[in-house]
Amino acid sequence: MEKPFDIVIHGGVVITVNDDSDIIADGLICIRGNRLERIDTCSGTAPLPPAVKTIDARGMIVLPGLVNTHTHTPMTLFRGLADDLPLQQWLEEHIFPAESRHIHPEAVEIGALLACAEMILSGTTTCCDGYFLEDCVARAVLQSGMRAVLGQGVIDMPAPGVPDAADNIAAAERFIARWRNASSRVQPSVFCHAPYTCSSTTLQAAKKSADKAGVRFQIHAAETRTEKERLAEGHSSPVKVLDRLGLLDAGTLLVHCVWLDEGDVEIIAESGAAVAHCPESNMKLASGIAPVIELLAAGVPVGLGTDGCASNNNLDLLQEMDTAAKLHKVHRMDPTAADAATVLRMATSTAATAVGLGKEIGSLAFGKKADLILLDARQPHLIPMYHPISQVVYAAKGSDVHTSIIDGRVVMENRRLSTLNLEQILDRANELGRKIRRTDA
């Protein structure tokens, strides 16, 4: 007799986001270990395959777990600390002082745990993060059950955990060495802060370290007008600067790409680099609107990201999809731009490609890792349902996520986290918040 599956999910509307964009009205998903072994239609009369755990998904939408291509998870601790301010004032008077005073290993771990709780509860199963003391983020991710690409920060100034900037590359290399074989759920990475905070030497050394280890190289690029204008004294663009330094290839993830010049889209596309698009953060900080439609048309894998909580202020990718679709429609004055299916890919399959995990996650297909979420569609704002993808992108919210499975493990069910002690995390985050508030200007 066949060995029972570990999990069988039946009866939901399954949005596979596979190559054929299949949607299965009455779906059957079978999981063994951490892999998807069967994606099928329920046959009305046939008995369900035997399983250790059977999930009745009738009335639910089942889709791949969402992939957040850009986060700074510990910054949950600065959520709403300073809003509605000019960028420099926000950074220099609030965020940088708070980071220098309050970012220590325990804070990073608590902030990251808080972020993981929020992400799981709003449908994200994988994030691509960049911060300092990233070991603490890795421990939080492992504990939460999430999957992540984690970049140790590199910047040419003293940073939490790296008091001597001259040690920044070595610190990143040590991080990679510690985590590259520690867990199949954690992929180490290098996160260079930006072309204007790292010298060319640092940038090239960091990229070399990433390449040598075969890990992702992440970098903020072309986020603000000021950055663009300063960087090459107006004679070039951040993308061209990075290109000339040899930093653009299929292992690179460029974050933001708001201020692209003529030819930049083509340079990115030819290099094979991917882009993380953070529309809500770019809107809130008034950075601008990235030319995402052009990037996608040129074949660049563009994934959605929320950015950190200091500039969004939440990690809800379902809301980010809605905003992205609407923003690009009005920006181009074209209601057909950024259609729902494209935007859903930007939070699933294309996002997975962007963070270097396209073969493993991002769609519901045979052999892929079992990372998936179930949305409770029996709610007033999700009824009637004519087009499931439209419903997910334009009507659903993070709180509709009922169940989350990552790497074959149920990490959240009926909105209860099985991996984390939420009450304790909230208490500890509140305690840190009280300290941060006391020292904020």
Q: How far is the CB of 201 from a copy of itself (least distance, A)?
A: 33
To a copy of itself, the closest distance from the beta carbon of 93 in angstroms equals 13
Q: Which stretch binds a copy of itself (CB under 8 A): 31-39, 154-162, 268-276, 310-318?
A: 310-318
**3-state DSSP of the chain:** CCCCEEEEEECCEEECCCCCCCEECCEEEEEECCEEEEEEECCCCCCCCCEEEEEECCCEEEEECEEEEEECHHHHHHCCCCCCCCHHHHHHHHHHHHHHHHCCHHHHHHHHHHHHHHHHHCCEEEEEEEECCHHHHHHHHHHHCCEEEEEEEECCCCECCECCHHHHHHHHHHHHHHHCCCCCCEEEEEEECCCCCCCHHHHHHHHHHHHHHCCEEEEEECCCHHHHHHHCCCCCCHHHHHHHCCCCCCCEEEEECCCCCCCHHHHHHHHCCEEEECHHHHHHCCCCCCCHHHHHHCCCCEEECCCCHHHCCCCCHHHHHHHHHHHHHHHHCCCCCCCHHHHHHHCCHHHHHHCCCCCCCCCCCCCCECCEEEEECCCHHHCCCCCHHHHHHHHCCHHHEEEEEECCEEEEECCEECCCCHHHHHHHHHHHHHHHHHHCC
Under rule CB under 8 A, how many of the chain's residues touch a copy of itself? 77
Give the shortest CB-209-to-a copy of itself separation in angstroms.
33
Site string for a copy of itself, 78-97 (x = CB under 8 A): -xxx-xxxxx--x-------
The verdict on 335 binding a copy of itself (CB under 8 A) reads yes
Q: Is 340 in the site for a copy of itself (CB under 8 A)?
A: yes
Specify the residue, 187 or 311, whose C-beta has the smaller distance to a copy of itself. Answer: 311
Nearest approach in angstroms of CB 341 to a copy of itself is 8
99 interacts with a copy of itself by CB under 8 A:
no
Contacting a copy of itself within 379-438 (CB under 8 A): 379-381, 383-387, 390-391, 394-395, 397-400, 422, 425-426, 429-430, 432-434, 436-437
Of 275-304, binders to a copy of itself (CB under 8 A) are: 280, 282-289
Contact range with a copy of itself by CB under 8 A, out of 163-171, 293-301, 317-325, 360-368: 317-325
Residues 209-238 that bind a copy of itself (CB under 8 A): 225
Complex with a copy of itself: residue 180 or 326, whichever CB lies closer: 326
Q: Which is nearer to a copy of itself, 174 or 381 (CB)?
A: 381
Stretch that binds a copy of itself, among 22-30, 155-163, 324-332, 349-357 (CB under 8 A): 324-332
CB of 337 to a copy of itself, least distance (A): 7
Which member of 43, 378, 418, 439 binds a copy of itself (CB under 8 A)? Answer: 378
Q: Does 21 bind a copy of itself (CB under 8 A)?
A: no
